[in-house]
Amino acid sequence: MVATSVRMSDTTAEKLDKLSRLTGRSKSYYLREAIESSIDQLLYEYTLLNEVEEIRAGKAKTYSLEEVKAELGLED
pLDDT at 50: 98
In angstroms, the CA 45 to CA 47 distance is 5
Per-residue pLDDT at 24: 98
Mean pLDDT value across residues 19-43: 97
Say if CB 20 and CB 32 are below 8 A apart. Answer: no
Q: How confident is the model at residue 1 (pLDDT cuts 50, 70, 90)?
A: confident
Alpha helices in the chain (DSSP H): 10-23, 27-56, 65-72
pLDDT at residue 75, rounded to an integer: 81
pTM: 0.64
Q: What's the length of the chain?
A: 76
> Cα separation of 73 and 68, whole Å?
8
